[in-house]
Chains A and B, each alone.
Chain A
Amino acid sequence: MLKVQNLHKAFGGVKAVNHCSFTVEKGSITGMIGPNGAGKTTMFDLITGLMEPDEGHIIIKGKNVTSHPAHKRAKMGIARTFQAIRIFSEMKTLDNIVVALKDHPEKMYQAFLPLKKKQKKIEERAMELLKDVGIADKAHLNAAELSFGQQKLLEIARAVATGADLLLLDEPAAGINLTLLNQIRDYILKLNKEGKTFLIVEHNMPFIMGISEKIIVLDYGQEIAVGTPEKIQNSDRVIEAYLGKKKE
């Protein structure tokens, strides 16, 4: 599903991602952990095309997309959430989902076609997605009016709405309460059963260890360990990476 090969990205002297390679198998839930500043978010930005790597390749579904712009990669079926939420806050919650849906008739000339029925269908589909994450009752509020946790749910639902089969979640569990956390976990598991592949960055160890089949550990931009959650928890290298620094 996703192959990262020898990927490298430096900011001045900081090697945020340092000749890193790994794969994410189709249908899997893969966790990505690492201390603060390990390069996890930078990795997501490189994979989704928001940043260009200095070296290396990104292969999505067998296709080398390293030189593709972000929107083209997204169209190939990859969607993400952001560590610092990025929702369309001055738009309706429902419209946040509507714009993401695949058959959204967003070409300029389509404004002048009679597409009421199609629009209605799309809104119904968006409503279903809001129901799935339990915020359907907020559909007609501006997204800015949602609570932090609800905004996170909205952002995940928006990624799902694109129809992407590879979902990259950057710290879905950060800053939310246990009820919501369980809700997010169940949602991820349900989508995974439906065939979606996940790559999830997370600092919450019980959460990420519980949900992932495979964990990739980044430290100073390098993959220092890859394996099952049990294997990772017992790896000296990983423990050292974490104990060497202060963790949030």
Chain B
Amino acid sequence: MLAAIVNPGYIIGFLTNMVIFALLGLSLNIIIGYIGYLNLGHVGFWAIGAYTYTLLLMNGTNYFVALLAGGVAAGISGLLLGIPTLKLKSHYIAIASLGFTYIVYSLVINLNDLTRGPLGIPGIPRPVIFGIDFSGDLAYLILSIIIVSISCLIIYILLRSPWGRILETIREDEIASKSLGKNIFKYKIQAFILSAFFAGIAGGIFASFHEYIGGPGAFFLPQLLFILSVVMMGGAGSFWGSIVGAAALMTMYEAVRFLPIEATLVGPTQQASFALVLILIMIIHPRGIMGRKIKTFQK
């Protein structure tokens, strides 16, 4: 047990996962914490990014092109989900976006020729960039940290900018924002594209990290709940919150392994634990560790 903790391979894997979920949490937080909408379609964006990346990469596309294409494909799906839904009321958006998650999931399972359905796609390579081989676990962790840091920096700049301030006015009071001359639909669409784009990037990093994507239950509700928990635990509307949330939740998730329970119970306990955390946060401290009050969730 202790050996597992000090095993560097284990720690590297743990950190890589954490970095990926920090980006997933932060990108979802743009929607939940800044424009104040409960988007349950984020795993769909993530999956679209992961599959686009994988299919391109395995057909010989340049690593960066594949990674960006994953982000762009996810971004476009964000646009397509956003246009019909973003004029709806907040809770309808939650329902519609959950439907989106389900549609993407069914496509992944059923488009056998493309995705190999429930078998998933094994053998996804890790890149060699400018002669540097990133196939080792540590090297890949470093690459992940670099890409996620750049992504987070871009998101940080945007959220702290006047543009980000307008997103916050939408969270605070859409009607007032409109009345000040803000085309709030445009901002919501932009936020959705941005959020989806980085979920797609996270999908690419994720695919090469595990060197495999798919399998039954991948990119579906448990992962959706996990990302939601990252956002809510860290705190909606807080940039650093999502990063802290990812660290806290991953630690908790992994800690379950060291409980004195049977091996077969570890998986279900892990899932139950973060679902429980999500419920407890919403009841006891909806602002999370460092977040703000989101009005739309409290009406």
Q: B183 within 8 Å of A by Cβ? A: yes
Given contacts A111-B163, A112-B157, A91 and B178 within 8 Å (CB-CB): no
A104 to B180, CA, bound (A): 12
Given contacts A88-B169, A91-B168, A70 and B179 within 8 Å (CB-CB): yes
Given contacts A74-B181, A162-B181, A88 and B162 within 8 Å (CB-CB): no
Give the residues from 162 to 194 in chain A that come closer than 8 angstroms, CB to CB, to chain B: 162
The segment from A94-102, A216-224, A228-236 found at the interface with B is A94-102
Q: Contact partner of B158 among A75, A99, A111, A162, CB < 8 A?
A: A111
Q: B182 within 8 Å of A by Cβ? A: yes
Given contacts A71-B184, A88-B169, A82 and B176 within 8 Å (CB-CB): yes
**Contact at A105–B179, with CB atoms within 8 Å?**
no
A79 to B179, CA, bound (A): 7
A197 to B163, CA, bound (A): 30
Number of A-B contacts (CB under 8 A): 90
Q: Contact partner of A90 among B162, B172, B176, CB < 8 A?
A: B172
**Contact at B165–A87, with CB atoms within 8 Å?**
no
**Contact at A106–B157, with CB atoms within 8 Å?**
no
Q: A152 within 8 Å of B by Cβ? A: no
Contact with A along B173-207 (1 / 0, CB 8 A): 10111111111100000100000000000000000
A48 to B292, CA, bound (A): 30
Given contacts A90-B172, A90-B292, A158 and B165 within 8 Å (CB-CB): no
**Would you give the shortest CB distance from A169 to chain B, in whole angstroms?**
12
**Contact at B162–A111, with CB atoms within 8 Å?**
yes
A71 to B179, CA, bound (A): 6
Which one of A72, A91, A99, A112 has the highest number of Cβ atoms from chain B below 10 Å of its Cβ? Answer: A99
Q: Contact partner of B165 among A50, A70, A74, A95, CB < 8 A?
A: A95
List 30 A–B pairs whose Cβ atoms lie within 8 Å, in order of A's numbering. Answer: A49-B178, A50-B175, A69-B183, A70-B179, A71-B179, A71-B180, A71-B183, A71-B184, A74-B178, A74-B179, A79-B179, A80-B179, A86-B179, A87-B172, A88-B172, A88-B173, A90-B168, A90-B292, A90-B293, A91-B165, A91-B169, A95-B168, A99-B165, A99-B169, A105-B162, A108-B158, A108-B163, A110-B161, A111-B161, A111-B164
